[in-house]
């Protein structure tokens, strides 16, 4: 290659660089003009139609609040609550109300599984019946299970191992046996 060819290529490269720079400047100017026009039309909207102006600002604010409140699903703590223990026949457990926070709360025992759902103990005589409401912490032994509502081992037949009802057998919700 001769010196002339190198000089021509350099001149062409410089001309291309100047053209690219001019195009970039034109794009920047047009972008600035577009943004300026957009802002001026938005501000003229404020004076001409303030309801639409402030409504659009409110809409954008509501959208931002919704996006921020969605957050990451993995960061939410897991719900904790009573868990169904894997009970075994012949093992000893204690009665503990899954839904009661009061230590004086009792656990309802019934003659047949499923009767708990249909039971109404609003009468005082029903609450003071023989061995129907057993104090939490009473030791029991599991004798058998009954399925209900599509769940296996929903009810457990228990024998009371301590207290004035010792030896009685009744059904309790499996979740109330810990």
Q: What number of other Cβ atoms are within 10 A of residue 100's Cβ?
A: 13
What is the model's pTM?
A: 0.50
pLDDT digit string, tens, across residues 99-149: 777 778 888 888 888 776 555 555 555 555 678 888 888 999 999 988 888
Q: What is the pLDDT confidence band of residue 83, given thresholds at 50, 70 and 90?
A: low
Phi and psi for 101 in degrees, rounded to 5?
-100, -15
* pLDDT higher than 60, residue 1: no
* pLDDT higher than 60, residue 49: yes
Q: What number of other Cβ atoms are within 10 A of residue 81's Cβ?
A: 8
* Residue bearing tokens 């600035």: 32
> In this predicted structure, what is the pLDDT of residue 173?
86
Q: Which helix or strand (DSSP H or E) is residue 56 part of?
A: helix 50-70
């Amino acid at each position: 290659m001769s010196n002339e060819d190198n000089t021509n290529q350099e001149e062409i490269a410089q001309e291309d660089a100047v053209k690219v720079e001019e195009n970039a400047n034109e794009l920047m100017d047009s972008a600035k003009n577009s943004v300026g026009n957009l802002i001026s039309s938005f501000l003229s909207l404020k004076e001409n139609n303030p309801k639409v102006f402030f409504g659009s600002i409110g809409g954008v604010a509501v959208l931002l609040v919704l996006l921020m409140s969605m957050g990451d699903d993995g960061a939410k703590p897991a719900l904790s609550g009573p868990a169904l223990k894997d009970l075994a026949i012949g093992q000893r457990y204690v009665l503990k109300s899954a839904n009661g926070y009061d230590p004086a709360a009792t656990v309802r025992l019934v003659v047949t599984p499923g009767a708990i759902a249909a039971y109404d103990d609003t009468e005082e005589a029903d609450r003071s019946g023989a061995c129907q409401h057993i104090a939490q912490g009473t030791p029991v032994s599991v004798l058998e299970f009954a399925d209900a509502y599509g769940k296996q081992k929903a009810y457990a037949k228990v024998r009371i191992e301590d207290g004035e009802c010792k030896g009685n057998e009744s059904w309790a919700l499996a979740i109330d046996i810990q």
